Amino acid sequence: MSTLAEQLQKMETHSSVFESAVRQLPLPVCAAFGSATQPQAVSFASSPRVLSTKDSDSVARSFPNSVQASGNVVLSSSGTNLQAAQGKRVAVLFSGGPASGGHNVVCGIKRILGKGNTLFGVRPGPRGLLKGDLFEITDADIDSIINTGGFDFLGTDRTKIKSEKQFQQVKDTCIRHNLDAIVIIGGDDSNTNAAVLAEYLFKDVKADGSGVQVIGVPKTIDGDLQIGDLLPISFGFDTATKIYAEMVGNILQDTRSSLKYWHFIKLMGRSASHVTIEVALQTKPAVTLISEEVAEKKQSLSSIIDQIAHAVVTRADKGLNHGVVLVPEGLIEFIPEMHALIAELNDAVAQNAVEFAALHDLARPMFIQNKLTPDNATLLASLPDYIVSMLLAERDSHGNLQVSLIPTEQLLIDMTARSIKEIDASISFTAQSHFLGYEGRCGAPTLFDAAYTYNLGLTAGSLILDGRTGYMATVTGLTAGGFPQAIPLTGLLNIERRHGHDEFVIEKALVKMDSPAMKYFVSRRSEWAADDLFASPGPRQLWGPAAYQQPISVALNSASESLAFKIG
C-alpha cells in the first residue's frame, strides 16, 4: 500500500483501495472465446431454435428486412471467426436506468473489436445518439472502468426514439460519424428500440447502400427481461439483489439484537417482484409480499393487512416482537381493488376537474367519496388521511396518479398498527420503514455480473464482426462454462395497445406462480413467519470462498446443482 496522503489523493480519481484492486481482478471468458487474456471473436451459425410470439405475422410485416435476414432463428457461436471484419466503426450507449456491469459490457466489446476496429462511446444514452455526441473509447478508458459499477462512464437517459424526426437524427449521426454498428445496452423498451432501429437502418444508410448494424444487450436490475433458458437473467439483477439482501440481512440481525422493531422494507421493482422474491430467498424474513400473487389471488388490501397482522400476533405469542416485511415497489397497482379505486378516482377527478380544483384540500375527500361506487367509497374511507391526500393529489400529464409516490411501506405499517390494536392492544408493534432502490443500481458488480457482462460484451462485439444485426447478445449455460448466443429481437416482439395505439413491446417477465423459485418460497414462508430462520448473506465478495454465487431464484428456476456459477 502507498502512503496515506497518496491513497487519499488517488481516491478522488475513483481509485479507492477497493476500486484500484478490483480493476486488477481477472475475468473468466467462455471457452468459445479461447484464452481469457487474448479472447478471439467468434462467428455464429443458426441453431435449430426459432422464436415466435402470437404477433409474429404482424411483426414480420413491419420488420421485413430483419425477419427475412434472421428468420427469427436463434444463433449459436460456431468457432473462432477467422474472417472477422476489420475497420468497423461501432458506437455503444446505455439506455434507461443504470445497472451494475454496464462498464464491463463496454470493455468486452472493445476487447473483441481490438486494434482493427474503432469503438465510440455515446453520451448520454439515446439523447446522445440523437445529438451525435460521440467520442473514441481508448484502452486507457477500459483499464479505468473495468469491474466498476454504474453507467457513469457514458451516462444514460430515457429518451425513446420513436418519431420519424428522431430516426432521421440517428441516421444523420450514423452518416456523420461513418458508423457501421450501434450497441444498445438496455431493458425491454430499449431492446425493442434496438429492433426498430435495426430495421430502420437495415440498408441504404451509407452511400454504398449498406446499412448500420444494431445489437442489443439485456440489462435491468428488475429482472423482468427473461427469456427462458436463452436469457435466464438480465445483468445488474444479481448485484442489486445482493446489495439489497445484505441490507435486509443486516436489518434482520438488528431486529433480533434490538428485540423491539418491525421493519417494512420496500424494494425496487414496479412491474415485477423478481427482486423481492430473490431478496426473500437470500434472507428469509417473516413476511414477503409478491405483487403477482396478490393479483392472481385477487387479494384485498385488508387481507394483506390480515396476513401481516397474523404474523405479528403469532410471533408476539412467542416473545418475538420484531420482524421484517418485504414489499415490492409496485404492490399497490397489483391489488385489484386499489387498481379499481385509482381508475375510478382518475375518472372522477377528470370529470369534476373544475369543481374539484376549486375545493379546499380538506373538503376534497368527502366530495370525491360521493362520486364513487359504494365499494370504492368504503375502501377510500378505510385509508389513512395522508394516503387519501396523495390519491387526490396532482395527476401526471396523462391524468394518471403517480402511484410510485405512494409510500406503500408506511401505509402497510399504519394499517397493520391499527389492526393489531383491534386484535390485542397489549401487543408491542413499533415499526420502521425503508426503501431500497438507488443504492442497488450502481454498486461494484458482483463477480457473477462482472464475468457475465464482460462475456456479453465479447458476444455483442463478435456479432458485429460477424455482420449481424437485429439480435440481442446473450450468454447461456452460466453454470456450465457459458455459451455465446444471439436472440433475434423480432422473435420477441408482441403488439400491445398503449395510449390508444399499437406498439411493439417485449413482454415483461413476471414472477410465475408455478416457477420453482416461487414454489420453494411458498413451501417455506410459513416457517419463516413463525420463527427467526433468517440468513444474513453479507457484503458481496470479489475475492475468497464466497465470491462465486449466482442469484438463488435463477439457480432454482434453471435447476442448477448449486449456487455456484461457472463461466470459463
With contacts defined by CB under 8 A, name the span among 105-113, 195-203, 423-431, 523-531 that binds its own copies.
Answer: 523-531
With contacts defined by CB under 8 A, name the span among 49-57, 152-160, 192-200, 341-349 that binds its own copies.
Answer: 152-160
With contacts defined by CB under 8 A, name the span among 149-157, 181-189, 328-336, 502-510 that binds its own copies.
Answer: 149-157
Binding mask 233-252 for its own copies (x = CB under 8 A): ----------x--xx-xxx-
Burial annotation 132-169 (CB, 10 A radius, 16+ → b, else e): bbbeebeeebbebbbbbbbbbbbbbbebebeeeebbeb
Asked whether the beta carbons of 33 and 81 are under 8 A apart, the reply is no
Among 258, 303, 373, 400, binds its own copies (CB under 8 A): 258
For its own copies, the binding residues in 31-70 under the rule CB under 8 A are: none
Cell numbers given for 226: 427473461
Q: How many CA atoms lie within 13 A of 446 on its CB side?
A: 29
Among 212, 345, 555, 567, binds its own copies (CB under 8 A): 555
Judged by beta carbon, residue 294 or residue 413, the one nearer its own copies is 413
CA distance 527 to 458: 44
CA distance 134 to 125: 11
Asked whether the beta carbons of 349 and 428 are under 8 A apart, the reply is no
Asked whether the beta carbons of 494 and 506 are under 8 A apart, the reply is yes
Q: How far is CA 367 from CA 338, 344, 372, 389, 510, in A?
A: 19, 14, 10, 13, 38
Judged by beta carbon, residue 44 or residue 262, the one nearer its own copies is 262
Q: Check binding of 396 to its own copies (CB under 8 A).
A: no
Judged by beta carbon, residue 171 or residue 242, the one nearer its own copies is 242
The SS3 call for residue 297 is coil
For the chain, the farthest-separated pair of C-alpha atoms sits apart, in whole angstroms, at 81
Note if 222 is an active site residue. yes
Q: Check binding of 488 to its own copies (CB under 8 A).
A: no
Among 144, 159, 169, 253, binds its own copies (CB under 8 A): 253
> Degrees (nearest 5) of the Cα angle 264, 303, 343?
90
Q: Where are the alpha helices (DSSP H) in 259-300?
A: 274-283, 291-296
Among 439, 481, 494, 505, binds its own copies (CB under 8 A): 439
Q: Check binding of 405 to its own copies (CB under 8 A).
A: no
The SS3 call for residue 24 is coil
Name residue, grid cell 427473461: 226
CA distance 430 to 217: 45
For the chain, what is the total number of helices (H) and then of strands (E)? Answer: 23, 15
Q: Check binding of 543 to its own copies (CB under 8 A).
A: yes
For its own copies, the binding residues in 501-520 under the rule CB under 8 A are: 520
Q: Check binding of 538 to its own copies (CB under 8 A).
A: yes
Among 259, 366, 381, 513, binds its own copies (CB under 8 A): 259
Among 256, 297, 318, 421, binds its own copies (CB under 8 A): 256
Judged by beta carbon, residue 1 or residue 82, the one nearer its own copies is 1
Among 272, 279, 442, 509, binds its own copies (CB under 8 A): 442
For its own copies, the binding residues in 419-438 under the rule CB under 8 A are: 432, 434, 438
Q: Check binding of 226 to its own copies (CB under 8 A).
A: no
Q: How many CA atoms lie within 13 A of 533 on its CB side?
A: 13
For its own copies, the binding residues in 1-30 under the rule CB under 8 A are: 1-4, 7-8, 11-19, 21-22, 24
Size of the site for its own copies (CB under 8 A): 85
CA distance 382 to 215: 50
Q: Check binding of 526 to its own copies (CB under 8 A).
A: no
Q: Check binding of 133 to its own copies (CB under 8 A).
A: no
Q: Check binding of 363 to its own copies (CB under 8 A).
A: no
Name residue, grid cell 460521440: 134
Asked whether the beta carbons of 373 and 344 are under 8 A apart, the reply is yes
Judged by beta carbon, residue 102 or residue 488, the one nearer its own copies is 102
Q: Check binding of 522 to its own copies (CB under 8 A).
A: no
Among 28, 39, 101, 155, binds its own copies (CB under 8 A): 155
Query: Order of strands, edge to edge, in the sheet holding 262-267?
Result: 287-288, 323-328, 262-267, 431-436
Among 110, 219, 441, 525, binds its own copies (CB under 8 A): 441
Among 171, 219, 284, 525, binds its own copies (CB under 8 A): 284
With contacts defined by CB under 8 A, name the span among 85-93, 213-221, 455-463, 559-567 that binds its own copies.
Answer: 559-567
With contacts defined by CB under 8 A, name the span among 78-86, 192-200, 204-212, 553-561 that binds its own copies.
Answer: 553-561
Among 26, 64, 228, 539, binds its own copies (CB under 8 A): 539
Q: How far is CA 126 from CA 317, 318, 415, in A?
A: 56, 55, 43
For its own copies, the binding residues in 291-350 under the rule CB under 8 A are: none
With contacts defined by CB under 8 A, name the span among 65-73, 268-276, 300-308, 524-532 that binds its own copies.
Answer: 524-532
Among 356, 481, 536, 568, binds its own copies (CB under 8 A): 536
Asked whether the beta carbons of 216 and 191 are under 8 A apart, the reply is yes
Shortest spacing between CB 242 and its own copies, in angstroms: 9
Q: DSSP code of 384?
A: -
Name residue, grid cell 415485477: 272
Asked whether the beta carbons of 268 and 222 are under 8 A apart, the reply is yes
CA distance 562 to 407: 37
Q: Check binding of 523 to its own copies (CB under 8 A).
A: no
For its own copies, the binding residues in 88-127 under the rule CB under 8 A are: 94, 97-98, 124
Catalytic-labelled residue, pool 180, 222, 414, 532:
222
H or E, element range at 245: helix 237-258
Q: Is 90 exposed, middle or buried (0-12, 13-18, 19+ CB in 10 A)?
A: buried
Q: How many residues does the chain have?
A: 568
Catalytic residues: 222
